């Protein structure tokens, strides 16, 4: 629990009173039985580290912030999800789709890039050139924050 509390955006776990309002409001909890934000907080408080960090639950979260807005303790379930995901990534638990986006971000400075066809169409539709990204600067930043290490790209 303290590990999460000391991770950025993870302080919310210290104030959770297990009221269940987050789960009652969560759009994913209504369609996926295993997805239960309150239960996740419970697991953190009880110290089930591997279940939390190696499981899929945090990756089903939409980051829609409905839980955050309704939490009577001022809201940090939604924020805590980010802290958990940050920790999970460091354990090697990262969905393939997210990994693809991170790789694209490092290579191009964008999480998703226009296809060749899309670029040609831009000219046809009169939208001008694709806005250019300063990729070198992005890479410098991502190397400095060890992002690249986390996602096994770059030096």
Partner 1 sequence: MKYAFFLGCLIPAREPNYESSVRRIAPELGIDLVEMEGANCCAPFSIQSVDHMSWLALAARNLCVAEQMGLDIMTLCNDCYESLLMGNTILKEDKEIRDQVNEILADVGLEFEGKTEVKTFVDVLHKDIGLEKVKNAIRRPFNGLQVAIQPGCHLTRPKRIHFGEWMGVTALDELVEATGAESVAYERKESCCGGPLRGINDEVAQYVAKQKLDAIKAAAPDCIVTVCPFCYLELDMGQLEIKRHMQLKEEEYDLPVLHFAELLRMAMGMELEDWEIRAHRTPIARVLKMQEEQ
Partner 2 sequence: MRKAVMVIGGGIAGIQASLDLANRGFKVHLVEKDPSIGGRMAQLDKTFPTMDCSICILAPKMIECAHNRNVQLLTYSEVKGVKGSIGNFKVKVLRKPRYVDERKCNGCGICAQNCPSEAPNEFDENLGMRKAIYMPFPQAVPRVMVIDKDNCIECGLCDKVCPADAVDREQQPEEVELDVGAITVATGFDMFDPSVIPQYGYGRLKNVITAMELERILCASGPTGGHLIRPSDGRIPRNIAFIQCIGSRDRREWINHPYCSSICCKYAVKDAVLIKEHEPNTVVAIFYIDLRAFGRGFQEFVNRAKSEFGIRFVRSSPGEISEDPSTSNLVVWFEDPTTRTVHHNSFDLVVLCPALIPRKGVGELAKILGIELDNYGFLKSADSVRKPLDTNVPGIFACGYCLGPKTGDVPDSITQGSGTAGRIAEVLVAREAS
CB of 39 to partner 2, least distance (A): 6
User: Token digits for 25?
Assistant: 């409001």
95 binds, options partner 2, partner 1, none, Cβ within 5 to 8 A by partner type: partner 1
Return the ∠ at Cα 56 (arms to 15 and 93), rounded to 5°.
95
Cα angle 132-108-58, degrees, rounded to a multiple of 5? 125
Rounded least distance, CB 74 to partner 2, Å: 4
**Given the rule CB under 8 A, which residues bind partner 1?**
7-9, 27-28, 30-32, 35, 59-60, 62-66, 68-69, 75, 78, 81-83, 85-86, 89, 94-95, 97-98, 100-102, 105, 109-115, 118, 121-122, 124-127, 130-135, 137-138, 140-142, 144-147, 150-151
| Nearby residues of 131 by Cβ (< 8 Å), 6 or more positions away | none
In the three-class reduction of DSSP (H, G, I as helix; E, B as strand; rest coil), residue 82 is classed as helix
Half-sphere exposure of 154 (CA within 13 A, CB side): 23
* Closest CB 112 distance from partner 1, rounded Å: 5
Give residue 109's Cα distance to chain centre: 18
Judged by beta carbon distances under 5 to 8 A according to partner kind, the member of partner 1, partner 2, none in contact with residue 24 is partner 2
Residues near partner 2 (CB under 8 A) are 17, 19-26, 29-30, 33, 36, 38-39, 66, 70-75
Q: Indicate which of partner 1, partner 2, none lies near residue 133 (CB less than 5 to 8 Å, by partner kind).
A: partner 1
């Amino acid at each position: 629990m303290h590990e999460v509390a000391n991770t950025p955006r993870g302080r919310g776990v210290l104030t959770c009173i297990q009221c269940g309002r987050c789960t009652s409001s969560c759009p994913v909890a209504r369609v996926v039985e295993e997805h239960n934000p309150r239960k996740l907080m419970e697991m953190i408080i009880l110290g089930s580290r591997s279940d939390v960090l190696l499981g899929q639950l945090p990756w089903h979260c939409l980051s829609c912030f409905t839980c955050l807005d309704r939490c009577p303790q001022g809201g940090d379930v939604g924020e805590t999800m980010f802290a958990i995901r940050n920790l999970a990534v460091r354990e090697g638990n990262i969905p393939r789709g997210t990994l693809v986006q991170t790789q694209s971000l490092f290579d191009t400075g964008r999480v998703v890039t226009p296809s060749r066809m899309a670029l040609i169409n831009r000219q046809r539709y009169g939208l001008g050139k694709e806005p250019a990204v300063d990729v070198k600067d992005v890479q410098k930043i991502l190397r400095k924050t060890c992002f690249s290490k986390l996602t096994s790209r770059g030096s």
